[in-house]
Each structure stands twice: as C-alpha cells, then as structure tokens.
Amino acid sequence: MSGSADVRERSAGIPVAGMLGELRAFWTRGRPVERACYAVGALLMASGAVHFGVFLVDGGPWEGPVSWRKPVTFGLSFGLTLVTIAWVASFVTLGERARRRLLGVFAAACVAEVALITVQGWRRVPSHFNQETALDTVITRVLAAGGGVLIVTLVALTIAAFRAAPATAPSMRLAVRAGFAALLGALASGAAMIARGVVEVQSGNQQLAYHVAGALKPAHAVTMHAILVLPALAWLLTFTALPEPRRVRAVAAATALYAAAAAGVIAWSAVRFATT
C-alpha cells in the first residue's frame, strides 16, 4: 500500500494540468497568424497520417523516389515544422507586420511543397529531380523555388532571434537561438542535396541524383528538429522548481550534447555524400 501511495504522490507532483493549460494558451492567446499556422500545420500532419494509411492499404516500396513515403514524411515533417516555427517565433522580437509576412509566406511555401509532392505521389512519379515531362519539370522547378522561399524566411527569423528579447527568459532565448542556428545547418544540407542532385540530372544520371541526395538526409533531419527539441526542453523546465540560472545551464548542457550528436551524424553523412 505504501508503494502505491508513493507512486500517486509522485504523479500528483507532475504539473500535467498546468502544462495542458499552457498548451491551450498558445492557441487562445496566440496571434491570428500563429493560430492560422497551427491549424495549417495540423492539416499537413493529418495529410501525412492519411497517406500512411494509404500506404498500409496500397502497399508498395517504402524507400525510393516513387513511394508513399514522401507524402507521409513531408506532410508530417512540414506540418510539425510549421507549428514549431510559429510557436518559437512568438519568443522572437519582430514587428507585427514582419511577423505576419514571414509566417504567412512560410506557411504558404510549406503548403505548396507538400501539395506538389503529394500530387506526384498520386501520379506515381518522382517529385524531385524529375524532368520527364513538361509538367514534371514545372513541378520540380516550383519545388526548388519553394525551397528558396523557405530558406529566405528562416534566415530572416534566425537573424531576428539574435536580437534583444528582454521579455523572453534567458533559458528560452538560448534554446531558440541554438535551435535556429542548427536549422541553418539543415538548410545548408538541404541546399547541398538539391545542388548535387541537379548536377547529376543535368549530367544524365537521374537515378544517381536520388541516391546521392539521400546521403545527407540524416544530417538534414537531426539539425532540422533542434528548433523543436531545445525550446521544448526550456519550456518544460519552467514547470520545475529550478531557478532560472540553473535552467540556463541545463539548456546549455542539452545544447552541447545535441551539437555533439549532430556533429557525429553530419560527419558520417558528409563522408557518404563525398564518396557516393
């Protein structure tokens, strides 16, 4: 009996109600553009989940340039990234007009990328590096242009993240800045994948383009999601009894560990990329 009582006591100490209340507050107190991004991001993730159901029913390969994997992973990844960026940007010093424009353009680019990739998935043709038909060429170019838009908006948000933000706790400022810095690494690896793939396509090696681009996927993934992991940690620490200086040290330690792990993945991916 005493063991059960101890478990109940420990469970009662977890501020679940407070966490849920704060999560609701992100919606209720959020700016209109932030709520719109949350809603659109949820729809993109729902699209990814639906297409996973399609994959389970239809079958087929999971890997390769033509599979249901791409509508699934891009829907989930872009949806989660859109929600994350809208949330993290709320801790960044920005004028309201600039915030609306940056988040609005970012959301539109995310929707366009997922929509076109999904269209190609249903057409059963590759979505990237595909110039087999006039339509495929147009879609490939629009996807590349969308990627450029994503890079521009995220670089602008990264610059803004390093401005003074006295209303944001130091631990959250550190997490947001580290997350955006890692995100720039993800953008760099994404740009490298696209550039190498385009070179191979123009050389007549379309199948090789898919192979070499895939070599950097692990590095792209691990650096992309630091923008969620680190700020989420900083947020969770606000529900503990730790004073702010100790929260800063905890976030700094987590950032160092994440950076070390990411460096290992990047090095491994770079070797694969260079030797492919």
> What confidence score (pLDDT) does residue 201 get?
65
Pair (101, 187) in one structural domain: no
- Section 17-34 average pLDDT: 87
Q: Token pair of 115, please?
A: 């929509």
Residue 258 falls inside a structural domain? yes
Rounded alpha-carbon distances, angstroms, from residue 134 to 24, 58, 130, 137, 138: 46, 28, 10, 5, 6
Cβ–Cβ under 8 Å, residues 88 and 179: yes
Is the same domain home to 190 and 273?
Answer: yes
Domain that holds residue 199: 168-276
- Among 167, 198, 215, the domain boundary falls at 167
Q: Number of folded domains in the chain?
A: 2
Residue 204 pLDDT class (50, 70, 90 cuts): low
Q: So what's the pLDDT on residue 193?
A: 75
Task: Write the CATH number for 92.
Answer: 1.20.120
For the chain, what percent of residues have pLDDT higher than 70? 88
Whether 160 shows a pLDDT value over 90: the answer reads yes
Place of tokens 């953008």: 187
What is the average pLDDT across 48-57? 95
1 has a pLDDT exceeding 70: no
Quick one: tokens of 162? 């390093």
Q: Are residues 199 and 84 in the same domain?
A: no
- The predicted pLDDT at position 20 comes to 85
Label residue 132 by pLDDT band (50, 70, 90).
confident
**What's the pLDDT tens digit per position in 167-201?**
899 999 999 999 999 999 888 887 777 777 777 66
In the predicted model, what is the mean pLDDT of residues 23-46? Answer: 93
Q: Is residue 5 part of a domain?
A: no
Domain assignment of residue 2, yes or no: no
pLDDT at 213: 64
The pLDDT value given to residue 212: 66
Task: Write down the residue that tokens 């670089």 correspond to.
Answer: 155
12 assigned to some structural domain? no
**One domain, residues 152 and 232:** no
Kindly state whether residue 3 falls inside one of the protein's structural domains.
Answer: no
pLDDT at residue 4 above 50? Answer: no
Residue with tokens 């290992």: 264
Model pLDDT, residue 13: 54
Listed residues 120, 137, 167: the one ending a domain: 167
Verify that 162 and 174 share a domain, yes or no: no
Identify whether 53 is part of a domain: yes
Whether residue 91 sits in one domain with residue 29: yes
Look at residue 103 and tell me if it is in a domain: yes
Say how far apart CA 119 and CA 241 lie, in whole Å. Answer: 49
Question: DSSP letters along 37-81, please?
Answer: HHHHHHHHHHHHHHHHHHHHHH---SSSSSSTHHHHHHHHHHHHH
Last residue of a domain, one of 167, 182, 200: 167
Question: Does one domain contain both 122 and 173?
Answer: no
What digits encode the pLDDT tens for the residues 57-70? 998 888 877 889 99
Please tell me the pTM assigned to this model: 0.85
Assign 209 a pLDDT band (cuts: 50, 70, 90).
low
Contact call for residues 84 and 228 (beta carbons, < 8 A) = yes
Going from the C-alpha of 15 to that of each of 22, 28, 274, the distances in angstroms are 11, 20, 48
Domain match, 41 and 146 both: yes
Both 148 and 172 in one domain: the answer is no
Nearest-CA neighbor of 58 among 73, 69, 47?
69
- Residues 155, 190, single domain; the answer is no
Residues 133 and 178 in one domain: no
Please report whether residue 183 resides in a domain. yes
User: Do 137 and 184 fall within a single domain?
Assistant: no
Name the pLDDT band for 35 (thresholds 50, 70, 90). Answer: very high
Check pLDDT > 80 for residue 100.
Answer: yes
pLDDT at 10: 42
Which of the four pLDDT bands, split at 50, 70 and 90, describes residue 9? very low
